[in-house]
Chain A
Amino acid sequence: MDISVMLWGSLVRMGQTLIAAGPTLIVGWLVAAIFERILGRDGTYRLFGGSSWRQLPQAWLLGMLLPVCSLGVIPIMIQMRRSGISGGTILAFGLTAPLFNPISVMYGLTLSDPVAIFVFCMGSLTVITVMGLLWDWLFPGSTAPIEPLPATPYGIRRIGAVAMSMCQQAFSVSTLYIVIAVAGVGLLGFALPAGCLQRAAAQSDPLAPVTMAGISTLAYITPMIAIVQIASMFQHGNSIAASFTLLVLGAGVNLGMLVWIVRNYRWRPTLIWISCLVLLVLGLSYGMDSPLRPKGVEQADHTHAFDVYCNPFPSDATGLMQSSGRILYESLHPEEIVAGVACLFILAFGGFIAWLDPKNAWMNALISMPAKVDAPSGSRLKDVVLPPAVIAGVSFFGLVLASVVACFLYYPPVKEIRQEMHAIEAEMVGAYNRGNWENLEYWIPIQEDWSNKLVVSAYLRGQPLDRFSKLKLQVYMKKLELLEHAVEDRDLEEAKEFGRQGAAAFQRFKSAIANL
């Protein structure tokens, strides 16, 4: 493969990673700031069950609820370590938090077999419990002492301290680990040629989970992408073992996190831990493969689900700079643009603070001001000083509630999605009749995404699709896939044929869901 293709492909994949990580990175910095400035060291320690048996289940539950990814979890893990939490619990949280969040669980429950998602959740609980217990048993002296931290005063200064802490979290050593994680993605994009993983997860391939373990440890996957890929693997009859491996090692682990573990716990424990983790995940994967295999699903001979880990360009690609710009532009969604701009601002403020105030005098000044309560003129209830635990509880509950609200925003009403799909179908009709390949390459994945969102939206709003409508949609998505392959092969006749079939299937699907 041409070195320029490898380099540009690698840069594109790194750019896409940074774009996708924006929203969950902000959540990661916010949670780390709340741990540091509201909960404090003791509060964080208690939140994770202290030294009781509850530490691992609590880490799992908190990880399931918080919408962070494997990059956003790094600043949180740093705060947990500074709070004297055991290594096993930190790694358990670090592994689980990126696997699921309320939006992705909703997606998985609707598009995959709910039993499979439940088993995957329980599988992840088993993995983190075993790995957490194993770590604490093997390396009992690995817990760092609690770093002293002055209490944050209440009121506007507390809000200011959280905001400043967020900026400091962003411009800290945690960002270096994030950069290393992104470099891992770039390494994959550099080394793996376009489409080379299309047969990596075949149901009949006994080595599929092992291949997936090798790839996904370096890859970065957001919880949403992980669940989309798992749903796609179920729909295409791919290896269930490979999909569980992808979920735990792909969404849970990345190169930056591994380097952080090495830096904090040294090589030997890290190697033992990662080896045990891979073995346990592979063991569970092979165990659940046969029982969870969906019945009546034809096994596809290949899948495009893992194309995102490979180089985006074929070996003979030209015009790489323009193509890279186009791919990155097409990867931008409104929420990611907003989050990306916010990330840049937070990073810039963090850099500004680190440059002008290297001794952290501003934060010290902010938190050392004497607490002052204005004497209430009337009832004391009007000016209650809320304890940090209440503020932290409201913050976490607010984050979870925001995730639930985000579900309804992310999955708009069926009627709106139907209109959107109708407009895209009209765009595609023109494109396949003219042989406008780039246009089709742009619209087909968007249409597939809307198709999946429609199912979840109908479920969320209490009107799940019946079997008739579901199969109509399945037929339409199959036609889209066939069209996608015709586009790949640049076969105009096939594209027109599958395009026409797709248009007919879409009309039938629209009629089937007319009452929704």
Chain B
Amino acid sequence: MIGSLSKARTLTRWLAVFLCCLLGCQLASDVSEEEHESHEHFPPHWPHTIFKASDRLSELIANPAATSPQTALSSQISPQQEFIDLIGWLPILAADSDLDRATFDRIDSASSKLQLRWQEPQPKDLPTLVNDPDAREIITWLADICHQEQSRMQQHLNSP
């Protein structure tokens, strides 16, 4: 009988510990419930389309000091980080467009190659990055492709 009472007391204590943990979690979670209202789906410098990414990359090549409205809002993102991120996002942005498989493959392989090269530990500033001949080549080529694609889309919209 005494053993059973002791077991019951211990069980109660154990359950109390669990409930306290849960209560703590619940109190902590009240904050996250309020935070839930604002979903952040993309980083501030996410370009949304391959065309905008291409424009911004061309802009950075032409003028490395140029800030975009997005990066101006977020002081945490340096221009070189923006450049590296944009190059890394090119494949997914290309996949979110009507660009054909061959064009996608070229963008994807150039993006992977550049990302791999830039993973090396020594820090790189923006002029070094934008003067990478492979980066310049793919950005120039991409700008042409995007221009053609936008013209095609415009024609498609204008056609009766």
Give A residues with C-beta under 8 Å from B: 187-188, 191-199, 211, 214-215, 218, 267, 296, 298, 300-302, 467-468, 471-472, 474-475, 481-482, 485, 489, 505, 508, 512
Closest to A296 in B: B88
Closest to A507 in B: B98
B95 contacts A468, C-beta separation under 8 Å:
yes
A211 contacts B95, C-beta separation under 8 Å:
no
B39 contacts A302, C-beta separation under 8 Å:
yes
B98 contacts A193, C-beta separation under 8 Å:
no
Chain A residues contacting B55 (CB-CB under 8 Å) are none
A468 contacts B88, C-beta separation under 8 Å:
no
Closest to B102 in A: A468
B33 contacts A187, C-beta separation under 8 Å:
no
Chain A residues contacting B94 (CB-CB under 8 Å) are 471
Chain A residues contacting B78 (CB-CB under 8 Å) are none
A189 nearest CB across to chain B (Å):
11
CB of B12 closer than 8 Å to a CB of A: no
CA distance A504 to B105 in the complex (A): 20
Contact pattern, B 90-132, Cβ under 8 Å of A = 1, otherwise 0:
0110111010010011001000000100000000000000000
Contact of B22 among A188, A197, A198 (CB under 8 A): A188
Q: Known: A198-B32, A296-B115. Contact between A468 and B26, CB under 8 A? A: no
Most buried by A among B23, B25, B92, B101: B25
Contact pattern, B 5-25, Cβ under 8 Å of A = 1, otherwise 0:
000001000000011011101
Chain A residues contacting B33 (CB-CB under 8 Å) are 193-196
Q: A191-B25, A211-B25 given. 13 additional CB < 8 A pairs?
A: A187-B22, A191-B26, A192-B26, A195-B32, A214-B25, A301-B39, A301-B40, A468-B95, A468-B105, A468-B108, A485-B41, A508-B95, A508-B98
B108 nearest CB across to chain A (Å):
6
B22 contacts A192, C-beta separation under 8 Å:
yes
A475 contacts B43, C-beta separation under 8 Å:
no
CB of B68 closer than 8 Å to a CB of A: no
B92 contacts A471, C-beta separation under 8 Å:
yes
B13 nearest CB across to chain A (Å):
10
CA distance A193 to B32 in the complex (A): 10
B15 nearest CB across to chain A (Å):
9
Most buried by A among B33, B35, B42: B33
B43 contacts A196, C-beta separation under 8 Å:
no
B36 contacts A302, C-beta separation under 8 Å:
yes
Contact of B25 among A196, A472, A505, A508 (CB under 8 A): A196
CA distance A188 to B22 in the complex (A): 8
Chain B residues contacting A298 (CB-CB under 8 Å) are 42-43
Closest to B105 in A: A468
- Can you list 14 A-B pairs with a CB-CB distance of less than 8 A? A193-B26, A194-B33, A196-B30, A215-B25, A218-B18, A296-B115, A301-B39, A468-B101, A471-B91, A471-B95, A472-B95, A474-B92, A485-B39, A508-B98
Q: When A and B form their complex, which 5 residue pairs have the shortest distance between CB atoms, in order from nearest?
A: A196-B29, A471-B95, A191-B22, A301-B40, A475-B96
Closest to B39 in A: A485
A83 nearest CB across to chain B (Å):
27
Chain B residues contacting A468 (CB-CB under 8 Å) are 95, 101, 104-105, 108
B96 contacts A195, C-beta separation under 8 Å:
no
CA distance A512 to B94 in the complex (A): 13
Most buried by A among B39, B88, B94, B108: B39
CA distance A214 to B22 in the complex (A): 8
Chain A residues contacting B43 (CB-CB under 8 Å) are 298
CA distance A475 to B98 in the complex (A): 12
A97 nearest CB across to chain B (Å):
25
Chain B residues contacting A215 (CB-CB under 8 Å) are 25
Closest to A190 in B: B22
CA distance A276 to B105 in the complex (A): 49
B98 contacts A199, C-beta separation under 8 Å:
no
Contact of B21 among A193, A194, A214 (CB under 8 A): A214
